[in-house]
Amino acid sequence: MKILNKQTKQETIVYTIVWIVLFLSPLVSLIFRHDDSAMETSWIKHSLFDTWANLLAFLVVFLIHNHVLAPIIVIHKRVKTYLVACLILISVFQLAECAHRPNGQPLISSTESRTPPPMPPNGKPPIDKHDLTMFIIIVLMIGANLGVKAYYLNEEEKKHLAQLKEQSLKQQLDYLRYQINPHFIMNTLNNIHALVDIDPEQAKDSIVDMSRMMRYLLYESDKQYVSLNNAVIFLKKYLNLMKLRYTDQVNVNVDVPENCSEDIALAPLVFIPFVENAFKHGVAYDKPSTITIDIEKKDGRLLFHCHNTKSHAKHEYGGVGLSNVTKRLELIYGNDYSLNIDNGEETYDVLLDLPARRPEDFAAHAASASGNHPDN
C-alpha cells in the first residue's frame, strides 16, 4: 500500500525545495563575500554554523508539526487538542532557544556586527526583540504549514469527489441505458411476432434486421457516443420494423440526411424513445395516422423533430423510455440542450435541440456537463 498519494508527494516536494533553499542561502552569502581576512572568515563561519543550528531547530519543529500536529486538525478536526499541542510545542521551542543562547547572545549572530551584545548583570537571558522575532517566525511557519497542508488535502478531496461523481454518472447512464434496451427489444419482438402470421418471408427479413440492431445495441449503445451516421442507419431499420406491423393507414414520413457526416457525435439511442412513443400513442386503427420525423444540422446544432397525430386512446404519453431519455439528456448534455414537447389535442410534437459536437470534443463536453447536471 502506498503511504503517499500524488497530492502529498507534491506537498513533500514543495517543503523539500523550501528547506534546501533556506539552508543554502547563508552559504551562498558566504561565497560571494570579498573580505578574506582571517578574523572575518572565522566570524562568518561561526555565524554560518549558528544560522544552520537555528534553522535545524526550526526544521525539527516543522517536522513535528507537519507529521504529528497538523493531521490532528486537518484530518481529525480536533481543534482543542491541536491548539494545546501547538502551545506546548512553541513553549518548548522558546525555552530551548533561550537556554542555549550563551550569556544572552542569540543563536543567529548578526553578520554585520563584530562584537557580541553585552551580558546582563544577572547573567540570565533576557526576553527581548529577538525572542519576539523567534516567536513570530515559528507561528508564521506553523500557519504556513497548516495552510499548505489544508490546500493539498482540499485538492485531494475535490479530486476524489470528482472521481466519485464521474463513477456515479457512469452507473446512472448504464442503468438508464439497460432500462431502454429491454423496453425497446420487447416492443420490437412483439412487432415481429405479429408479422409471422401475416408474411413469414418478411418476418425472416425482419429477424435479420433485428439481429443487426441487436449488434448495434450490444456494441454501440454501450459507448459514450455514436456517430450521427450510425444513429440514422439504426433509426431507419427501426422504422422499417415498426411499419411492418401497421397497415397503409399509417403514413410515416422520414427526412434525414442521406450521407451523415462522421464528424457529428451524439448520445446513443437518444432518438428512439421519441419515435417509439409516436408509434405507441399516435397510431389509431380506425382512422389514418401520420408520423413525421426529420433531422437537420443548423448553425452548429443538431435538430430532431418528431410529429405525430394522436390516437385519443385512454393512455398516458411518455413511459419508461421517454422518461429515461430525458434523464440521460440531463446527465450527458447538462444545460447544453433543449427539449420542447407540445402535447396538443390532435397532435404531439417533439423538438430536440442538441449541440453538433465532434467525436473528439464529446467526452470533454460531457464531463463538463456532468458537473452541472441537476440531481435526479
Domain annotation covers residue 149: no
Give the integer Cα–Cα distance in Å for 362 and 224.
Answer: 8
∠ Cα 295 299 305 (to 5°): 25
Amino acid at 114: R
3-state secondary structure (DSSP) of residue 243 = helix
3-state secondary structure (DSSP) of residue 326 = helix
Domain annotation covers residue 320: yes
Residue 288 has pLDDT above 50, yes or no: yes
Q: In sequence order, which residues have a C-beta less than 8 Å from that of residue 265 and are 6 or more positions away?
A: 225, 226, 227, 228, 357, 358, 359, 362
Looking at per-residue pLDDT, the higher value among 102 and 343 belongs to 343
365 in the same domain as 228 = yes
C-alpha cell at 191: 412487432
Give the integer Cα–Cα distance in Å for 153 and 207.
Answer: 57
171 in the same domain as 119 = no
Residue 25 has pLDDT above 80, yes or no: yes
Residue 183 has pLDDT above 50, yes or no: yes
Looking at per-residue pLDDT, the higher value among 87 and 177 belongs to 87
316 in the same domain as 193 = yes
**φ, ψ at 290 (rounded to 5°):** -130, 135
- What tens digit of pLDDT does each residue of 194-251 get? 778 888 888 888 888 888 888 887 777 677 788 888 888 888 888 887 777 776 778 8
3-state secondary structure (DSSP) of residue 221 = coil
248 in the same domain as 100 = no
246 in the same domain as 349 = yes
Estimate to the nearest angstrom the gap between the alpha carbon of 44 and the chain centroid. 54
At 374 the pLDDT is: 42
Out of 127, 156, 181, a domain closes at 127
Output the CA torsion sign for 214, 220, 221, 226. negative
Out of 99, 127, 155, a domain closes at 127
Give the integer Cα–Cα distance in Å for 365 and 369.
Answer: 6
Residue 353 has pLDDT above 70, yes or no: yes
Among candidate residues 340, 339, 341, 328, the one with its CA nearest the CA of residue 369? 328
Residue 306 has pLDDT above 60, yes or no: yes
336 in the same domain as 198 = yes
Domain that holds residue 34: 6-127
At 110 the pLDDT is: 42
Other CB atoms within 10 A of residue 303 CB: 16
Give the integer Cα–Cα distance in Å for 255 and 265.
Answer: 19
362 in the same domain as 257 = yes
Domain annotation covers residue 148: no
Residue 126 has pLDDT above 60, yes or no: no
184 in the same domain as 92 = no
At 294 the pLDDT is: 94
Domain annotation covers residue 70: yes
Residue 103 has pLDDT above 70, yes or no: no
Domain with 246 in it: what CATH number? Answer: 3.30.565.10
170 in the same domain as 118 = no
Give the integer Cα–Cα distance in Å for 170 and 150.
Answer: 30
**Lowest-confidence region among 82-96, 204-218, 291-305, 316-330:** 316-330
188 in the same domain as 333 = yes
231 in the same domain as 106 = no
Domain annotation covers residue 150: no
**Lowest-confidence region among 106-110, 170-174, 322-326, 339-343:** 106-110
103 in the same domain as 20 = yes
CA Rg value for the chain:
37
Give the start-end residues of each E strand in the chain.
226-227, 250-255, 265-266, 289-298, 301-309, 338-343, 347-355
Which residues sit opposite 298 in a β-bridge? 301
Domain annotation covers residue 138: no
- What tens digit of pLDDT does each residue of 27-82 get? 776 666 655 555 455 556 667 787 888 889 899 999 999 988 988 888 788 889 99
Domains contained in the chain, number: 2
Residue 193 has pLDDT above 60, yes or no: yes
C-alpha cell at 325: 431519455
Domain annotation covers residue 19: yes
Whole-structure pTM over 0.85, yes or no? no
| 265: Cα within 13 Å, side-chain hemisphere | 19
pLDDT above 90 covers a percentage of the chain that reads 12
Domain annotation covers residue 136: no
Out of 110, 127, 144, a domain closes at 127
Amino acid at 134: M
Which residues sit opposite 255 in a β-bridge? 294
